[in-house]
Structure formats: C-alpha cells, structure tokens
C-alpha cells in the first residue's frame, strides 16, 4: 500500500476488539519507527511505556484513567496502551548526541574542527538556553513526529489506534513509577479494529484554504483541483462521513462492546478524578509549608 493511501486511511479507530491481543512484534515495529524519526539535535527525548492488558500488574491496570470526554471505554477495552512520554533529561546530555552526528558524518565536514566547535561554542550555548529550549515547543513537536510514524506503521500492520489525553495523571504516574523528568504526552490505544477501516468515512476537516497560507498570513495557499482529483484516485482523500451504513455500525458496536451510547457520558467520572488529584496536590502543598 502506498504512503498516500496509508495516510488517507489512517484515522482514529476508537472501537477495538478487546479479546484479541496484539503481537509484541507489531508493537516493536511501531517503536522502531518512532526511534527512526527526525529529532532536533539528535536529542531523542521521546519515550514510551507499553501496557499489555494480559500481562500488566493489577496495580497498573487499576491506575489506567477512567477515560476522556470522548469515551473512557477506549482505555478499558484496548488490549494495549502505549503511554508516550517526553523525557526532559535527554536535553541535558544533548552534547553527546551532537558529537554522535559528527562521528556519523551527519553534521560538519571537518570532524576534528566540528567536535571542537561543539565543545567550545554550540554545546555551551544550548546549556545556557536550556529553559528556553524546553519551553519552545520543538521538543514536543519532534516527539509528535515519532508518534506519527509509529501510528502509520500500526495501520500498515492492520491495527487500529487512537491518541488520547490524560487529564488526571498522578495515579498512573505512581503505578508506572515514572521519573520526575518525564511528562506524559498522551496515551495511545492499540488493537485490532472492531469497526470497518473506513470508520464511517473521512471526518470533517476545515478547508485547506483556511489553514495554510502563501507568503503572507491570510493569503490562502492555492488548492489545485487536479491535485485533489489525484489524491482521490490514490485514496488519500476519501468519501466524507457519514457513510450510509455508519450509524447501523455504531449501534452494533455499542451493543457488542457494551459501550454507552451517549457522547461524553463518562465526563462526570473524569471530573471527579481531576478534582481528587487537585485536592491531593493542594494537601501536599499545605504539608510542605508546615
């Protein structure tokens, strides 16, 4: 399958088969793809912690969040969860990664002079600008590139995935024993799709002309209809949702997987978890001040 068709078909698959485990080999392929993604300064701050429902400790399973505003059942039913992390300590040893690039012939032409320049100029600059770098967004952006590559590989392997935020994290962090240097970026549900690959068709998107510009903000990037037709032929652009059978499929899935039929019905439970965490944090803060 060509990349354009992979991208066109790669939409969030929220309905997964809970009884069908995912082979570790396929998860490994996802992680290999994430490892190969581009990253500024070769920092490699992206980390992942894989939770297998069949093998994880009960303490870990109990710490999985009740969900998000778009369906906590995704966390409960997915046979595999990938907790994607950014490890900020990777920036502290970025100099080593830059020297590796010089040794690999990926940065600089004169190796000896390039190593000297790194030690004398560039690495000290990055160390001095560490806080600015961490708040600049580039590190999270490059983590996202790795997650995107892993997601494309998952589709190629016949899997369905969905990226979900985790508004209440403390319980999960404790169970996974995450170091303080790591922040949770998102949790990815992974499994074999219970719904059709089309997932009801292409979800609504804003027009390209409203999103992207040429030479000046507000000047729409021109959209060629010839390119649009080419992408339709390549199946990157597909029929808009909902396809005629989609709501029948949703009713079937709700019954088969015992899923609440109302969008966001579990928000109350999620809110309770967030309030609980905020109360715990406040109590800890008061204790520190005593």
pLDDT for 9 equals 61
70-90 per-position pLDDT tens digit: 667 899 899 999 999 999 999
Beta bridge partner(s), residue 51: 81
Q: Which H, E and C letters describe the chain, residue by residue?
A: CCHHHHHHHCCCCCCECCCCCCCHHHHHHHHHHHHCCCCHHHCCCEEEEEEECCCCCHHHHHHCCCCCCCCCHHHHHCCEEEEEEEECHHHHCHHHHHHHHHHCCCCCCCHHHHHHHHHHHHHHHHHHCHHHHHHCCHHHHHHHHHHHHHHHHHHHCCCEEEEECCCCCHHHHHHHCCCCCEEEEEEEEEECECCCCCCCCECCCCCHHHHCECCCCCCECCCCHHHHHHHHHCCCCCCECCCCCHHHHHHHHHHHHCCCCCCCCCHHHHHHHHHHHHHHHHHHHHHHHC
Q: To the nearest whole percent, how much of the chain has pLDDT over 70?
A: 86
Longest pairwise C-alpha distance within the chain: 69
- pLDDT (tens digit per residue) in 45-67: 999 999 999 999 999 999 998 76
pLDDT at position 290 is 45
Q: Is the peptide bond before 242 cis (omega within 30 degrees of 0)?
A: yes
Query: Each residue of 145-189: pLDDT tens digit?
Result: 999 999 999 999 999 999 998 877 899 999 999 999 999 999 999
How does the average pLDDT of the chain come out, rounded?
A: 88
Position 133 scores a pLDDT of 83
Residue ranges of domains in the chain: 3-202+238-289
92 vs 79 pLDDT, higher one: 79
pLDDT value of residue 41: 85
37-44 mean pLDDT: 90
Which residues have a Cβ under 8 Å from the Cβ of 182 and sit 6 or more positions away?
47, 85, 86, 87, 88
The neighbour count for residue 215, using CB atoms within 10 Å, is: 6
Give the pLDDT confidence score for residue 22 in this predicted structure.
Answer: 98
The CA distance from 171 to 116, in Å, is 46
Average pLDDT over residues 274-289: 60
Q: At 96, is the pLDDT very low, low, confident or very high (cuts 50, 70, 90)? A: confident
Q: 3-202+238-289 has which CATH code?
A: 3.40.109.10
Spatial contact of 47 and 233, defined as CB atoms under 8 Å apart = no
């Amino acid at each position: 399958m060509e990349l354009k068709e992979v991208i066109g078909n790669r939409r969030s698959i929220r309905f997964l088969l809970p009884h069908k485990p995912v082979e570790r080999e396929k998860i490994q392929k996802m992680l290999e793809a994430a490892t190969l993604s581009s990253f500024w300064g070769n920092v490699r701050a992206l980390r992942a912690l894989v939770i297998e429902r069949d093998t994880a400790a009960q303490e870990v399973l109990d710490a999985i969040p009740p969900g998000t505003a778009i369906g906590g059942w995704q966390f409960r039913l997915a046979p595999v969860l990938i907790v994607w992390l950014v490890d900020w300590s990777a920036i502290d040893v970025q100099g080593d990664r830059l020297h590796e690039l010089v040794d690999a012939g990926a940065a600089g032409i004169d190796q000896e002079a390039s190593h000297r320049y790194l030690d004398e100029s560039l690495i000290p600059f990055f160390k001095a600008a560490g806080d600015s770098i961490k708040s600049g967004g580039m590190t999270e952006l490059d983590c996202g590139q790795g997650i995107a590559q892993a997601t494309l590989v998952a589709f190629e392997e016949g899997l369905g995935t969905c990226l979900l935020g985790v508004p209440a994290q403390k319980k999960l962090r404790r169970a996974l024993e995450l170091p303080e240097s790591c922040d949770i970026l998102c949790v990815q549900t992974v499994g074999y799709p219970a719904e059709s690959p089309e997932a009801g068709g292409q979800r609504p998107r804003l027009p390209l002309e409203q999103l992207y510009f040429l030479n000046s903000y507000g000047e729409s990037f021109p959209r060629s209809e010839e390119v649009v037709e080419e992408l339709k032929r390549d199946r990157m652009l597909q029929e808009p949702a909902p396809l005629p059978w989609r709501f029948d499929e949703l009713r079937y899935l709700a019954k088969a997987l015992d899923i609440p039929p109302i969008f966001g019905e579990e928000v109350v439970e999620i809110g309770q978890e967030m309030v609980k965490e905020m109360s715990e944090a406040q109590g800890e803060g008061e204790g520190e001040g005593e």
